[in-house]
């Protein structure tokens, strides 16, 4: 059974950094690509970033490009989202998604950017 567990969310001040983690189990982690998707309070889903199964390609939404970095550690079965220079508009629930024939979503972790 595929399971994705996000962690690392919390309250962070504007301009500071935060790192989100997504631990996967129940599937061949090294063969999956991963996305981060976020949802601001009361809003729709917004794609944030993607990393290829082999880490060879990474792409970002314009809204986070240059500030966020996606990475993976296949030895730890974990995907990361390093969030730097956070802004109020980054406040959202962040979901980790593993791609496959059928995509699998985690339960999300809430990031609140506030002074």
Partner 1 sequence: QSALTQPPSASGTPGQTVTISCSGITSNIGSNTVNWYQQFPGAAPKVLVYTDNQRPSGVPDRFFGSRSGTSASLAISGLQSEDEADYYCVAWDDSLNGWVFGGGTKLTVL
Residue 66 CB, nearest approach to partner 1 (Å): 15
Q: Three-class SS string for 64-109?
A: CCCCEEEEEECCCCEEEEEECCCCHHHCEEEEEEECCCCCEECCCE
- Exposed e or buried b for every residue in 61-90, given b needs 16+ CB within 10 A? eeebeeebbbebebeebbbbbebeebeeeb
The verdict on 34 binding partner 1 (CB under 8 A) reads: no
Q: Is 43 exposed, middle or buried (0-12, 13-18, 19+ CB in 10 A)?
A: exposed
Which of positions 38-57 make contact with partner 1 (CB under 8 A)?
Answer: 44-47, 49-50
Residue 55 CB, nearest approach to partner 1 (Å): 15
The verdict on 101 binding partner 1 (CB under 8 A) reads: yes
Residue 75 CB, nearest approach to partner 1 (Å): 26
The single residue among 95, 98, 111, 113 that binds partner 1, judged by CB under 8 A, is 95
The single residue among 7, 8, 55, 60 that binds partner 1, judged by CB under 8 A, is 60
Residues that bind partner 1 (CB under 8 A): 35, 37, 44-47, 49-50, 59-61, 95, 101-108
């Amino acid at each position: 059974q595929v399971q994705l567990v996000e962690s690392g969310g919390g309250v962070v001040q504007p301009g500071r950094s935060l790192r989100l983690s997504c631990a996967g189990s129940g599937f061949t982690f090294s063969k999956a690509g991963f996305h981060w998707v976020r949802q601001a309070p009361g809003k729709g889903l917004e794609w944030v970033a993607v990393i290829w199964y082999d880490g060879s390609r990474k792409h970002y939404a314009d809204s986070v490009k240059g500030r966020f970095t996606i990475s993976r550690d296949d030895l730890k079965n974990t995907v990361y989202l390093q969030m730097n220079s956070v802004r109020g508009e980054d406040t959202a629930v962040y979901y980790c998604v593993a791609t496959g024939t059928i995509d699998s979503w985690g339960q999300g972790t809430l990031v609140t950017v506030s002074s």
